[in-house]
Amino acid sequence: MAYRPAQRRPKGRPQLANRTFAIGDIHGDLGALNTLLDKLPELDRDDTLVFLGDYLDRGPHSAQVINKLRVELPESTPAKVVTLMGNHEEAWLKVSEGQMPNFVLHAGNGCLACYRSFLTQPGSAVQPSIEELKDMLSCKFFPEPVFAWMKALPYWYEDEHAIYVHAGIQRVEGEWVHPSKTDDPSRLLWLRSKEFYRFYNEKRVIVGHTPTQFLPPNLSSYTPDVHDDMWVNESVHVIDTGCGKGGFLTALELPSVRVYESRGGA
């Protein structure tokens, strides 16, 4: 199967019906999101945009990214918009319940940037103050509509082209478990299993979560010599290409397997 960079489709050229555009982890990078959306072809009511989760943290515009996905995009496109749960969204929900405080305290998770994006007069110090930490752990800085939206995010999506899930598919007693049958949906968000990337061979799965630079390039059929590109084998497609943490945002169009990236020109 040939994967190819996308080019603008000339007006009047026939297009495939029921297209799905899967979009990887955004992590607060509004600029990359806007750039990528501008590169997509004109969408219609038969198209679907599937966002794979992790809209928050690290990048400077978590609040603005969520507003784009929650309000602006559904109002401005005829396409169906599906926003899935990521492990960062679930982690914030758990923090609000008094669980996982270390998620907020670990600087590498980028929670301070998320918190400040919701403030009208955010601080600028590299380290959070005690008051900022208290506010972050309370989660009260999230507007109620945003928090309700996060709670309602689905854990997976499926269409005729693929299964879409944030992290991966679980294997139990030698069998790959469909997301609808998993006993703990959280596992769909946090899984980092070498056997999934190496041995999963059922219906195509599109995932994010694990930056592609950390996956074995020799097992990818898509630019194996470029370690930060989308990672592809027969049945697993990983499109977390480091957006919000020095990388770029990737979208994969199905069934045409066209690839769109926020980096580079039009």
Domain 17-258 falls under CATH 3.40.430.10: no
pTM higher than 0.85? yes
Cβ contact 243:30 at 8 Å: no
Q: What is the pLDDT of residue 7?
A: 43
User: Token pair of 39, please?
Assistant: 């590169």
Residue 242 has pLDDT above 60, yes or no: yes
C-alpha distances in angstroms, 258 versus 1, 6, 83, 166, 229? Answer: 11, 5, 21, 20, 14
Residue 5 has pLDDT above 80, yes or no: no
Mean pLDDT rounded to a whole number for the chain = 93
Q: What is the pLDDT of residue 16?
A: 63
Contacts of 222 (CB under 8 A, 6+ apart): 3, 229, 230, 231, 232, 259
Q: What is the mean pLDDT of residues 173-181?
A: 96
Q: What is the pLDDT of residue 6?
A: 53
Other Cβ atoms within 10 Å of 59 Cβ, number: 24
- State how far the Cα of 180 lies from the Cα of 25, in Å rounded to an integer: 22
Cβ contact 90:133 at 8 Å: no
Query: Side by side, which strands form the sheet with 258-261?
Result: 4-5, 258-261, 250-254, 20-23, 48-51, 80-83
- State how far the Cα of 56 lies from the Cα of 141, in Å rounded to an integer: 14
Between these two residues, 4 and 23, which has the higher pLDDT value? 23
Residue with tokens 């299964």: 163
In this predicted model, what pLDDT tens digit does every residue of 89-137 receive, in sequence order?
999 999 999 999 999 999 999 999 999 999 988 888 889 999 999 999 9
Q: What is the pLDDT of residue 227?
A: 78
- State how far the Cα of 65 lies from the Cα of 150, in Å rounded to an integer: 13
Q: What is the pLDDT of residue 129?
A: 93
In this predicted model, what pLDDT tens digit does every residue of 8-20 receive, in sequence order?
343 344 456 699 9
In this predicted model, what pLDDT tens digit does every residue of 44-85 receive, in sequence order?
999 999 999 999 999 999 999 999 999 999 999 999 999 999
Cβ contact 49:266 at 8 Å: no
